[in-house]
């Protein structure tokens, strides 16, 4: 019964999106939702590494260079998630292209407050939440990407793989950033249940201290895959 209502909820949301997307004019390259796991396995030190790592990525010269090549820039939103009903947008949709706009985005990510602390891990609900954010963006983009990062497998909520399949069928790419170190190792879960869609992939962080490097490479890889020799030359240096 839960699965039926779960799938109905998703398809109702998809129908709303179909109408909404048809009314928007194309105005940027990428819509990117960064969804960070802040469940009870993440302590405050690790949360600081998450937000500082993401902030550092958007202020990195290489990422600024690639975004500068985009005709109309890109849209970015950052959300935090944990258990069922525990998802919150920390940085609403932001249009970035110039260094000034990227600096502001970086500052807002670096200073965002933690949304949840002692909850379970429900990645299926996190994906539905992230998918729903595309409806709130009124600047249509050529590609839609969800970045789901986390350090563990699901221990609450719906079926992650089914949810990811349904979202990918709507033309959204879901990439994973798995933070290794837990037991059982969450890597296979992110490969088999999270990663979906065109040119999707899973980036690996070997613990939270490696998150900054991993999210930089992840974002650079995502935004460099734009069918341009000039843009692709940037990623080849790393």
SS (H, E, C) 114-158: CCCCCCCCCHHHHHHHHHHHHHHCCCEEEEEEEEEEECCCCCCCC
Average pLDDT over residues 127-134: 98
* Residue 217: predicted pLDDT: 96
Confidence of residue 106 (pLDDT cuts 50, 70, 90): very high
pLDDT higher than 50, residue 20: no
Confidence of residue 10 (pLDDT cuts 50, 70, 90): low
Average pLDDT over residues 150-176: 97
* Residue 6: predicted pLDDT: 55
pLDDT higher than 70, residue 139: yes
Give me the residue spans of the domains in the chain.
Answer: 34-235
For residue range 21-59, list pLDDT tens digits in order: 444 455 799 999 999 999 999 999 999 999 999 999 999
Could you give the C-alpha distances from 4 to 8, 135, 138, 166, in angstroms and in order?
6, 23, 30, 13
* Residue 197: predicted pLDDT: 94
Confidence of residue 231 (pLDDT cuts 50, 70, 90): very low
Q: Parallel, antiparallel, or unpaired: how do β-strands 74-81 and 87-96 relate?
A: antiparallel
* Residue 11: predicted pLDDT: 56
- In the chain, pLDDT over 90 holds for what percent of residues? 79
Distance between CA atoms of 81 and 141, rounded to whole angstroms? Answer: 24
Confidence of residue 227 (pLDDT cuts 50, 70, 90): very low
- Among 23-37, 61-75, 83-97, 168-182, the range scoring the smallest mean pLDDT is 23-37
| DSSP letter for each residue of 75-98 | EEEEEEE-STT-EEEEEEEEEE-S
Could you give the C-alpha distances from 70 to 75, 82, 96, 143, 156, in angstroms and in order?
11, 33, 10, 12, 39
- Name all contacts of 13-21 with Cβ < 8 Å and 24+ positions apart: 13/128, 13/131, 13/132, 13/135, 14/166, 14/170, 16/135, 17/134, 17/135, 17/170, 20/135, 21/134, 21/140
pLDDT higher than 90, residue 14: no
- Among 82-86, 105-109, 185-189, 225-229, the range scoring the smallest mean pLDDT is 225-229
Distance between CA atoms of 59 and 51, rounded to whole angstroms? Answer: 13
* Residue 159: predicted pLDDT: 98
Confidence of residue 7 (pLDDT cuts 50, 70, 90): low
Confidence of residue 224 (pLDDT cuts 50, 70, 90): confident
How much is the pTM?
Answer: 0.85
Kindly state the tokens that stand for 33. 């939702």
pLDDT higher than 60, residue 236: no
As assigned by CATH, the class of the 34-235 domain is alpha beta
Please name which of 161, 153, 171, 177 lies closest in space to residue 34, comparing C-alpha atoms: 177
């Amino acid at each position: 019964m839960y699965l039926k209502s779960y799938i109905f909820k998703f398809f109702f949301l998809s129908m709303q999106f179909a109408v909404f997307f048809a009314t928007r004019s194309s105005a940027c390259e990428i819509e990117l939702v960064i969804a960070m796991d802040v469940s009870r396995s993440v302590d405050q030190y690790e949360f600081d590494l998450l937000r500082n790592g993401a902030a550092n990525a958007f202020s990195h010269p290489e990422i600024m260079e690639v975004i500068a090549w985009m005709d109309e820039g890109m849209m970015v939103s950052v959300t935090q998630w944990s258990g069922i009903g525990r998802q919150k947008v920390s940085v609403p949709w932001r249009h970035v292209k110039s260094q000034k706009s990227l600096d502001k985005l970086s500052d807002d990510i670096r200073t965002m407050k933690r949304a949840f602390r002692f909850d379970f891990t429900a990645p299926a609900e996190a994906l539905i939440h992230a998918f729903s954010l595309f409806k709130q963006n009124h600047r249509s983009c050529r590609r839609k990407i969800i970045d789901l990062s986390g350090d563990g497998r699901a221990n609450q909520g719906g079926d992650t793989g089914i949810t990811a399949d349904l979202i990918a069928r709507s033309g959204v790419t879901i990439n994973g950033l798995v933070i290794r170190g837990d037991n059982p190792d969450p890597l296979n879960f992110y490969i088999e249940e999270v990663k979906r869609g065109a040119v999707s992939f899973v980036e690996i962080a070997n613990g939270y201290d490696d998150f900054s490097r991993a999210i930089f490479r992840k974002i650079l890889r995502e935004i460099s895959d734009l069918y341009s020799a000039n843009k692709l030359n940037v990623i080849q240096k790393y």
